[in-house]
Structure 1
Amino acid sequence: MAIQQNSRSGLLLAAVLDAALVLIFVLIGRASHGEGLLGTLLTGLPFLGGLLVGWLVMRAWRSPQKIAWTGTGIWLFSVGVGMLLRTVTGQGTEFSFVVVTTVVLGVFLLGWRGIAVLLRRGQARTHAVA
């Protein structure tokens, strides 16, 4: 079942999904370096802050599933503001980390939106045939 594009529950689900995917990225990263859960919040907060900025600047509540503009903006703000906040708080922003963050958050934040588009198209075709 696809997320309803403009419903209140669809909006909440989109926001929760974005935040959950950012936290999954953080958990995967911390686990790959053998680090525990204790620093997850410290590592995740800059990217969650970037995600929030992205949602506000892109006015994502208008069309949270839209890949072009909404999804792309949310992704780029999540990475850019996240890295800026990491720099301000003295956390690392090595080039390889920036590249991995950009790629993984791009796949996560744009990927679910792409899947939602495909599901909506499939439902539309099913309804058109019926």
Structure 2
Amino acid sequence: MKKHFPAIAADVVLVLIFCAIGRRSHDEGGAITGLLHTAWPFLGGLAVGWASALALYKDKFTADSIFPTGVVVWLSTLVIGMVLRVISGQGTAFSFIIVAGVVLAAFLVGWRAIYRQVEERRALR
């Protein structure tokens, strides 16, 4: 698990940035407790995604892979996050689900795609 820490940390930071951007765009302020209130469902989904990816793909698991890790982590963060928001009485308007899906995909899958490109170019040198 120690070797996966940088990827886990990147995912956590990106989920927190996603939540902070959302709070700011709705003038909800930047208080830490408010951010955590918004972020916990998505962080829970992120944890489920990581656990699922590790369990399902243990033989072929790489933390920085686009598929399956990035896709599993993204979908879990989105779906479980939305379910936890519903359970906790937070909003899940259809437009929010679409925006969250796109932004979380760009963040959680996107950094992995960029990382892969950088690594491939580095290997060619």
Q: Which amino acid aligns with 1:31?
A: R
Match of 2:52 among 30, 50, 57: 57
Deviation at 1:124, TM superposition (A): 0.6
Per the alignment, residue 102 of structure 2 pairs with 103
Structure 1: gaps (5+ residues):
1-5
Cα distance in 1, alignment partners of residues 7 and 97 from structure 2: 24
Per the alignment, residue 29 of structure 2 pairs with 36
Asked if 1:12 corresponds to 2:5, the answer is yes
**SS at structure 1 position matched to 2:109:** helix
Q: Relative to structure 1, is the Cα distance of residues 29 and 87 closer, same or farther in structure 2, using a 3 angstrom cutoff?
A: same
**SS at structure 2 position matched to 1:63:** coil
Q: Which amino acid aligns with 1:96?
A: S
Per the alignment, residue 125 of structure 1 pairs with 124
Per the alignment, residue 14 of structure 2 pairs with 21
Q: Provide the aligned C-alpha RMSD in A.
A: 1.6
More displaced, 32-41 or 43-52? Answer: 32-41
Q: Report the TM-score, using the length of structure 2 for normalisation.
A: 0.91
Post-superposition CA distance 1:55-82 (Å, at most 9, x none): 0011178311010111001000000000
Cα distance in 1, alignment partners of residues 103 and 47 from structure 2: 18
Q: Which amino acid aligns with 2:50?
A: W
